[in-house]
């Protein structure tokens, strides 16, 4: 179960989020990629709770639908896990240890870093490079994921006839997709300190990227579903109609002032609090760019409020800005969903990194 292992193509990325399943298939195209397969299908509210699959049959049904919509014949997929079931830590190891011996040594020492019994987790590691303070050692990223959480997702994938070749961590899938968005930033800040703010349905995740690597991640329980619920109660709509009205903006005049503006300001304040948590844990005291993603990132006025409250430039992520698309792909829908496809994009890139270097 390789959390970081690369596998050869063909491989599609499948992001199983709280409210939807997102599928993306890429192929190498020059120094970038081409979108070959793409589809999104919603999940019933009772399918996922706190990032755990509680109704596997509903997830399998949605998976089968998204596979059919995307016209995918590939059997191998990459998926991701996140949340409290995942622990990552950078440790230092002797630099002269061969890979097999390093793996054995890490397994022996892992209980120092993992608060779970080792027979309850899957472990993996990736050598990051030489330690800056001791040239004889290397920094190693240790990752552990609760086996029950991983197995839940692997099992629903298997129930559709697919094989989960890669189980990644959402923060590192996001890091991979950031490489595409970084091309759209001024050259002098591409490797600076970037705050990726992923605003989903039930949670907002802050992922700090520095020099192209994820160095901090934290969740906050505030997402777009809160605004949908407020629309539903305010205007007497069903959950489905409230969601559609939020996307279209076709709501009474008081929506913008009474619901949308306060919600956006609340998102900005929560993001500022998450950043303060990051600043308190490191010597860094500023960020250089905010990148917004997730299904809620497209709310009108959000970019401007984020910039005003946090004081740095902000933009909405579009990992497909420089990509070609296959004729079967609905480019209009892809563009509308682009900000919410960062994790799926990072997963789809896993087997293609070498081809686009």
Tell me the C-alpha distance between 260 and 257, whole Å.
6
- Which tokens is 323 given? 């990509």
pLDDT (0 to 100) of residue 7: 45
Tell me the C-alpha distance between 188 and 329, whole Å.
34
Q: How far is CA 77 from the centre of its chain?
A: 16
Domains contained in the chain, CATH given: 1-182+326-357 (3.30.420.40), 185-317 (3.30.420.40)
- Which tokens is 61 given? 């049904």
Closest CA to 322 of 338, 298, 340, 307: 338
3-state helix, strand, coil in the chain (%, to 5): 40, 30, 30
76: left (phi over 0), alpha (psi -120 to 50) or beta: beta
Q: How confident is the model at residue 353 (pLDDT cuts 50, 70, 90)?
A: low
User: Residue 215, Cβ neighbours under 10 Å: how many?
Assistant: 17
This prediction's pTM: 0.90
Sign of CA dihedral 279, 283, 285, 289: negative
pLDDT (0 to 100) of residue 108: 86
Largest CA distance in the chain: 66
In this prediction, residues 314-338 reach a mean pLDDT of 95
pLDDT of residue 174 exceeding 80 = yes
- Which tokens is 166 given? 């890669």
In this prediction, residues 95-111 reach a mean pLDDT of 86
Q: How confident is the model at residue 256 (pLDDT cuts 50, 70, 90)?
A: very high
pLDDT of residue 61 exceeding 90 = yes
24: left (phi over 0), alpha (psi -120 to 50) or beta: beta
pLDDT of residue 111 exceeding 90 = no
In this prediction, residues 53-73 reach a mean pLDDT of 95
192 by DSSP, 3-state: which? coil
The answer to whether 217 and 317 have CB atoms below 8 angstroms apart is: no
């Amino acid at each position: 179960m390789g959390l970081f292992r690369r596998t050869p193509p063909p491989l599609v990325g499948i992001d199983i989020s709280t409210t939807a399943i997102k599928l993306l298939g890429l192929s190498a195209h020059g120094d970038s990629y081409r979108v070959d397969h793409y589809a999104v299908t919603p999940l019933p509210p009772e399918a996922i709770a706190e990032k755990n699959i509680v109704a596997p049959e509903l997830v399998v049904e949605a998976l089968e639908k998204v596979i059919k919509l995307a016209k995918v014949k590939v059997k191998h997929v990459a998926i991701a896990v996140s949340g409290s079931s995942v622990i990552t830590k950078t440790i230092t190891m002797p630099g002269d240890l061969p890979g097999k011996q390093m793996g054995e040594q890490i397994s022996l020492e892992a209980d120092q870093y993992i608060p779970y019994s080792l027979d309850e987790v899957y472990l993996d590691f990736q050598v990051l490079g030489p330690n800056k303070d001791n040239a004889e050692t290397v920094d190693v990223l240790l990752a552990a994921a609760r086996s029950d959480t991983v197995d839940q997702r692997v099992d629903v994938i298997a129930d559709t006839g697919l094989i989960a070749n890669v189980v990644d961590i959402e923060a590192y899938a996001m890091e991979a997709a950031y490489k595409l968005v970084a091309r759209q930033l001024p050259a002098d800040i591409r490797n600076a300190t970037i705050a990726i703010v992923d605003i989903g349905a039930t949670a907002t995740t802050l992922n700090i990227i520095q020099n192209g690597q994820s160095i901090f991640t934290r969740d906050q329980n505030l997402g777009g579903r809160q605004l949908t619920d407020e629309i539903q109660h305010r205007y007497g709509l069903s959950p489905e109609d409230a969601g559609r009205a939020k996307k279209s903006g076709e709501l009474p005049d008081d929506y913008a002032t009474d619901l949308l503006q306060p919600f956006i300001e609340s998102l900005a304040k929560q993001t500022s609090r998450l950043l303060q948590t990051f600043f308190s844990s490191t010597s860094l005291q500023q960020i250089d760019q905010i990148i917004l993603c997730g299904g809620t990132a497209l709310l009108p006025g959000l970019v401007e409020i984020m910039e005003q409250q946090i004081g740095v430039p902000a933009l909405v992520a579009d990992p497909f800005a420089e990509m070609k698309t296959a004729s079967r792909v609905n480019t209009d829908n892809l563009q509308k969903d682009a900000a919410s496809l960062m994790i799926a994009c990072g997963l789809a890139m896993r087997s293609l990194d070498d081809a686009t270097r």
